[in-house]
Structure 1
Amino acid sequence: MTGPALRAARLSPADVLRTGAEGLRSRRARVVLSALGIAIGIATMVAVVGLSTSSRADLLDRLDRLGTNLLTAEAGRNALGQDVKLPKSAVAMVERIGPVQHATATGSVNARVRRSDAVPEELASGVTVQAARPDLLDALSARTSQGSWLNRASERLPTVVLGSIAADRLGITGPGAKILLNDRWFVVTGILAPIELVPTLDRIALVGFPSAERYLGFDGHPTTVFERSTDASVEAVQGVLARTVNPGDETSVKVSRPSDALAAKAATDKGLTTLMLGLGTVALLVGGVGVANTMVISVLERRAEIGLRRALGATRGAIRLQFLTESLLLSALGGTAGAVLGSVATFAFARTQGWIAVVPPWSLAGGLGATLVIGVVAGLYPAVRASRLHPTAALSAS
């Protein structure tokens, strides 16, 4: 008479985790070094995605603040290669376009800029002069960092407002200083804050149209027209702006949208992010190889333990599950540490740059998911190898 067939006992999930964790605790130094490779890969990927997202969020915030509805029309050259002058009535003509909300202009002035009469005339300062209308700052959403902008009174007087870089080049630290434009002294009444949409104006000395005509021989013709229209009509206005500004010779007028430069920067950042993600993936794969190497060595070092467990009735499936669990725990440890390090790095760097810190949840979930896949792949061969050890051979080898 035979008794009931014996069946191997199954390990509970808690027992599986406890057994796998015990294998890691007994080899802490090796575990830390193996997990470090995974951590570096995940930290790199999370930080790259986080910093790229934070940078784009800051850029979009700036675009929302500055507006994408600014267009510029700049005088160029005609078919004969001659410099073109825009009509003096260019701004008034642009203002007649229905959707246009605001129009203004600047004009190039042929004048030398010197800090004092002790500076030789042939020594260039790197600062050029342009005439500007009092409504220029409103159109560009710009502001002064010090002093005041041109108004209806000061635009007729020998006063000048400097761009931020122009002030640095001339050594001007605040309003009240005097500079020479040609041979005429002009009083600095203000210094502009950096103008993000039109950074070329940061290097310019700006005077009023009437003042430029009276003191610097300016002919009154604008060289660049700025206009803002409704967001929905930007493309329509862009299509007619050139022939409105310079009827009969629209090909000599270059129309551009300053916000496109910021949008192009976002696209460039996206390409760089893809490259850095590739490097992070390589680091993650290297970390996976480290995990696999650790697990293979662990199997070789623990042959006696494996043989003893098999002799006591552990099934091959239980042995496979034990070593696969160890590999997953090792990868998860590195992945969690990497996600934390990447998030901290993102917030720290974004704060130093004044950005809005953003770490997309999908990057954390994707990083942790990748570590689990790496853990399964890296631990599969060592787990199968361990389960195939015969109890007698494993015990005799020890």
Structure 2
Amino acid sequence: MYTHTDSDRPFPGPRDSDAYDLRHHGDVEVRDGKLTDLAVNVRTNTPPAWLRERLVESLSGLAAYPDGRAARAAVAERHGLPARRVLLTAGAAEAFVLLARALPVRRPVVVHPQFTEPEAALRDAGHQVRRVLLREEDGFRLDPARVPADADLVVVGNPTNPTSVLHPAQTLAALARPGRVLVVDEAFMDAVPGEREALAGRTDVPGLVVLRSLTKTWGLAGLRVGYVLAAPDTVAMLERAQPLWPVSTPALVAAEACMSGEALAEAEEAARRTAVERAHLLAGLAEFEEVRAVEAAEGPFVLIRVEGADVVRERLRGLGFAARRGDTFPGLGPQWLRLAVRDRATTNRFLQALDQALVMAGCSRPG
């Protein structure tokens, strides 16, 4: 059974946590391959050619067992940490499972709306989970005082999926205290110019565990590679829960390659382009009086509220666009959609389709 913090639920709806499909992910929306994908937050035209070449070269070494030392050292150097503070994982999803199974916690709290895999992993491991539901009227921003003082594990995303809100580093650091593990999912932080508000690399925050993924910026969802940054004793605990050789040789090669100075510069440039294209998308959405976007968006996606969103989403599919439904995220309801940021031409075509979809769904035209 799951419990909630009872104050100020953001929308009227069922209190049963099973009402949310925690295993639903955006890739389900685009599996037919015929739609323009706004449902999955992976950067388009990736992996880049140079990374694909590195992956192809790595295939010659598949006869040997994976050796993660070079990749681990590269991640450590990138964040200015010793290697003993780094754990390579088969994507951030594996990290959530390891945390749920290996850490001796008894009172976990997950801050929602956010990526649902952490709660699903905790639930699968037999934990009872409390939720802190951030509110639309607060811009989905976190007030540390709302997190129960007795929580010994707190999970929060930054920038948060699906709201795209970037919480100040000092706000998240204020959640730390002796005896508590603070897990910050920074899977989208490399899509934020300058990675401002990042906690990766910090060693002064007690109990801090930072998760990173290479999936979004580098187009490696099918390869499964990410990493954990934490105190050495926490890393050792998680590592003991891993199977042998959990990260494949190609994934290790990708991790090492994406830590290079050239790769980091490419990621930064991509983040800056995304910020420009996101502003264009938000400006276009603002033209629709029946659509309200979370304007504080800082990630490569935006969250919008529109009445009849389920009908609008189906109309968009008929017009060739896949959008991510929002009602599987605790704290959101059926009136929400998440949209990945794309290039200007794609966004303009989408805005035209949205105009048609709103009319077809019985909504008024833009004001």
TM-score (norm 1): 0.22
TM-score (norm 2): 0.23
More helix by share: 1
Which structure would you say has the larger Rg? Answer: 1
